[in-house]
Structure 1
């Protein structure tokens, strides 16, 4: 009797699939449906998922894939043997084989699975000596580049150190630190994280502006201009004095929503905001309340730009007229005080002198009266 089962195995070229770490991913596989089918998924030689006797079989499944795989069972009769892999991990990357067997023959399809963790954000910090960019939970390792505005010679940006570490999940943290040259401290520093497949570019920038000193009571504008072409951004102003940073203003260009903690004291110009000018206007700054560090942050799609300014509000000085009036007042007050002191010192002496004079006069009067009486007696 001739068997209807063919022993030939057909195979297809590799299919390259890239999946996002922590997301679910489909590894495609199709076959020509002819009755019952046996399906086996392998990673190299490791059993990933099996299906036969019209149901899933987990007896030989490797524990790394336990609870994370399934087939589209209702689609199997239509020739769909694709595998759904849940919560993709770094360790899932590699070559997979989809083996199907029907009475018409066997088939092998190979899938090359690459995984990646997207760049979510870039953090930037600046001190007097260094500027540092970092990003967390990335895969594979991104490329980091530096630039300045105004531009500098390439050699000036070579003094940098990049550290790459991995966590228990295999994800990378990349931190790049650049030493600032003395003559470049007022430049804007840009760092860019470029994904390994070049599909993502995250850019951050930082500028330390010159310190501002202003007398209290006089309006003051703190400059903050967005990079060219920045659209759909949010703007945040924070203030730091002796305590933790305080968010004093927020603006979203998409919703036009504004939050202002210092309403009536400080605010950006609403008309200029749409043009990318987020400068903050302090109406009547106070030496105690408004002296500190102001940080302006523009956040856009895959970008963050920071401008930091130290502001010192001084106590109001006195004008020439005010000083003249004040000197006149003090002179008058001093004269009055001198006269009062003189009176206080002299008064007791006058009182004592008057008492002495009164006593002497009384004594003289009594003596004269006695002599007159004695005279009468003699007569």
Structure 2
């Protein structure tokens, strides 16, 4: 049968005519390749035109002919400026075909940071998410829940691309030192909700005595990986990592003989680290553990102080005071020697004239020549 016969069939059945077209919604990611679908029955001598907001697009943006029935429009790097309604119009031997596509462009949440800030003069939790569109929604919670009213301050700032940075701060509640602070971020386009939580504590240990640094995952984290790091004022250094899939932990060479992790407890949320024979100079600082899985992280930071035992402190004090005592003893002996010397010298100076005088008088008494007796 000839092609004209099939054309007559299509026209008779109304297939070739443009009927009501349902919109298809496509969501693409900023800076990534984006596909706007348009398919139709394959036909020879097909011509394709795309319209954006009912304005014809340049033919170079899509194949001018698509006899294989695929006239999909490809945007190499989608941007927020590309949002809108697109219309694909195909004319072929079988008639005309149209497809409408509503394009949404988003920049999903890629990461979430939660840290402690003291720049405002008081301690507060700071939750930050960057380069997001549409503007994200930030909420706060604590574990366990508190009866106090949480009053975060959240700021949204858009850059020249139209992407938002959300900066939310929550003042730390007084008198509740063991709280877990939880920051959640979501967007109106749907997708996963990101969660980050943080707990801080202070721990004191003794030099040379094993110390356990606690770290416990919230119950909603199942099968997370675990990372431990250490900082004493410099950039954090890795201590060890634990892979939940293999069930093995790998320690950094500098820490192999100083830390121990019970791998059997980690899958149950206990990632506590045992610090063996810690030294004040080497192991005092901030220890951080991070439980992580897709879209969720939980961190615990422990400020660890390693005190020197009293016995060692006594030895140090003794080694200091014996020097002071020796100096005092030498000074006392010098003072006594000086007093004795001055006393002897004084006696010698005063005694010489008196001895000469007494000796002269004695000689005058004992000299018979100088003695006169009265005559009879």
TM-score between the two structures when normalised by the length of structure 2: 0.75
Taking a change above 3 Å as real, the CA distance of residues 298 and 31 of structure 1, as seen in their structure-2 partners, is: same
Superposition pairs of residues 227-376 of structure 1, within 5 angstroms? 227-228=218-219, 229-241=221-233, 244-253=234-243, 254-255=245-246, 256=248, 258-264=250-256, 266-271=258-263, 272-318=265-311
Q: Please list the CA deviations of residues 325-349 of structure 1 after superposition, one character each: whole Å capped at 9, or x if unmatched.
A: 989x899979997998799879999
Aligned match of 1:222? 213
SS in 1 for 2:280: coil
Between the aligned partners of 2:160 and 2:312, the Cα distance in structure 1 is 67
Between the aligned partners of 1:264 and 1:175, the Cα distance in structure 2 is 38
Which region of structure 1 is more displaced relative to structure 2, 184-193 or 291-300? Answer: 291-300
Between the aligned partners of 2:258 and 2:174, the Cα distance in structure 1 is 33
1:203 corresponds, among 195, 201, 223, to 195
Taking a change above 3 Å as real, the CA distance of residues 339 and 183 of structure 1, as seen in their structure-2 partners, is: closer
Superposition pairs of residues 74-113 of structure 1, within 5 angstroms? 76-113=66-103
SS in 1 for 2:281: coil
Taking a change above 3 Å as real, the CA distance of residues 236 and 48 of structure 1, as seen in their structure-2 partners, is: farther
Between the aligned partners of 1:105 and 1:119, the Cα distance in structure 2 is 44
Between the aligned partners of 2:226 and 2:266, the Cα distance in structure 1 is 10
Matched, 1:32 2:22: no
SS in 1 for 2:67: helix
What is the CA distance between 1:266 and its match in structure 2?
3.0
Contact 1:42 / 1:49 at 8 angstroms: preserved in 2?
no
Consecutive unaligned residues of structure 2, counting only runs of 5 or more, are 346-376
Contact 2:49 / 2:64 at 8 angstroms: preserved in 1?
no
Q: Please list the CA deviations of residues 254-281 of structure 1 after superposition, one character each: whole Å capped at 9, or x if unmatched.
A: 3535132532553241433444322232
Between the aligned partners of 1:149 and 1:172, the Cα distance in structure 2 is 28
Taking a change above 3 Å as real, the CA distance of residues 337 and 88 of structure 1, as seen in their structure-2 partners, is: same
SS in 1 for 2:125: strand
What is the CA distance between 1:217 and its match in structure 2?
2.2
TM-score between the two structures when normalised by the length of structure 1: 0.74
Which region of structure 1 is more displaced relative to structure 2, 167-176 or 268-277? Answer: 268-277
Taking a change above 3 Å as real, the CA distance of residues 45 and 219 of structure 1, as seen in their structure-2 partners, is: same
Taking a change above 3 Å as real, the CA distance of residues 130 and 11 of structure 1, as seen in their structure-2 partners, is: same
Q: Please list the CA deviations of residues 280-320 of structure 1 after superposition, one character each: whole Å capped at 9, or x if unmatched.
A: 32222222332222222222211121211222222321289
